């Protein structure tokens, strides 16, 4: 990683306060826990009906609904722990041409040494209108920058966790760092980033 470069943070996390973030996740977690328990109990009941028809079915099978509910609760709890951890650690930044994306783990890639660069749409929709383009438009998909290098693949979400597209100056910073790459897809992505940033600035000026 380049030394002496100022770290440039990207707005890929939550824009709300930490308290609002945790409260929102807590409400989602409560619904998820209840749903997982009910789903596990229902599956256990189905399994119980299936084995009850068998002759001399062991009495222990009567506990299947409760086992299913417990497994559902355990799975939902584990998911929520990971979701809380990911929400707390979500971050991304640039150090020159080096891009770091941190979730549960930290991944770093030198954009100048990338072997393949591309954009992938997601099933999420941007909250704010975006410039019309291949991956953009009113209510367009949240785009993900995918960079593959010798060290592995790094995926950068080009929007906050609240589905707000990155500001124009951040898109331009990514484009400038990526312009050093000489690999398939790099020029096209740089063009898209700069075009998207120009559209955002044009709307703000209008």
Q: Tell me: do 83 and 116 sit in the same domain.
A: no
Q: What is the pLDDT of residue 138?
A: 45
Are 134 and 174 in the same domain?
Answer: yes
Q: How far apart are CA 152 and CA 46, in angstroms?
A: 44
Give residue-wise pLDDT tens across range 117-163: 999 999 988 885 544 444 444 458 899 999 999 989 999 999 988 88
Look at 19 and 196; give whichever has higher pLDDT. Answer: 196
Q: What tokens appear for 68 in the block?
A: 């299913």
Residue 105 is assigned to a structural domain of this protein: yes
Residues 22 and 82 in one domain: yes
Helix axis angle for 64-89 and 18-52, nearest 10°, is 160
In angstroms and rounded to an integer, the radius of gyration of the C-alpha atoms of the chain is 23
Residue where one domain finishes, among candidates 72, 89, 106: 89
Domain match, 148 and 191 both = yes
Number of compact structural domains in the chain:
2
Q: Please give the pLDDT value at position 145.
A: 97
Same domain, residue pair 198 and 105: yes
* pLDDT confidence of residue 86: 64
* Structural domain that includes position 54: 18-89
The DSSP result for 2-57, as a single string, is -SSPPPEEE--S-SS-HHHHHHHHHHHHHHHHHHHHHHHHHHHHHHHHHHHTSTT-
| Span 158-180, average pLDDT | 92
Same domain, 50 and 98: no
pLDDT, one tens digit per residue, over 67-86 is: 777 888 888 888 777 776 66
Same domain for 52 and 106? no
Averaged pLDDT score across all residues of the chain:
81
Question: 166 and 186 share a domain?
Answer: yes
101/106 Cα distance (integer angstroms)? 6
Residue 85 pLDDT? 67
Question: Per-residue pLDDT averaged across 17-36, rounded?
Answer: 73
Please check whether residue 7 lies inside any domain of the structure: no
63: helix, strand or coil: helix
Q: Which of 56, 89, 122 is a domain's end point?
A: 89
Q: Give a yes or no: residue 11 inside a domain.
A: no
Cβ(160)–Cβ(11) under 8 Å?
A: yes
Domain C-terminal end among 34, 59, 89 = 89
Q: Is the pLDDT of residue 92 over 50?
A: yes
CA distance from start to end of the chain: 40
């Amino acid at each position: 990683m380049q030394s002496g470069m100022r770290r440039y943070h990207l707005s890929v996390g939550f824009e709300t306060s930490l308290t609002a973030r945790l409260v929102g996740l807590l409400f989602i977690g409560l619904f998820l826990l209840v749903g997982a328990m009910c789903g596990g109990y229902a599956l256990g009941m189905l399994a119980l009906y299936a084995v009850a028809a068998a002759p001399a079915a062991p009495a222990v099978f009567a506990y299947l609904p409760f086992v299913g509910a417990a497994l559902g609760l355990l799975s939902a709890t584990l998911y929520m722990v990971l979701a809380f951890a990911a929400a707390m650690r979500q971050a991304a930044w640039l150090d020159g041409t080096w891009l770091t994306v941190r979730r549960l783990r930290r991944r770093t890639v030198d954009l100048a040494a990338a072997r393949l660069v591309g954009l992938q749409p997601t099933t999420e929709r941007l909250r704010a209108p975006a410039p019309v383009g291949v991956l953009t438009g009113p209510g367009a998909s949240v785009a993900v920058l995918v960079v593959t290098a010798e060290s592995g693949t790094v995926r950068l979400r080009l929007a906050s966790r609240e589905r707000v597209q990155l500001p124009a100056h951040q898109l331009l910073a990514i484009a400038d760092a990526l312009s050093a790459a000489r690999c398939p897809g790099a020029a096209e992505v740089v063009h898209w980033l700069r075009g998207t940033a120009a559209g955002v600035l044009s709307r703000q000026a209008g």
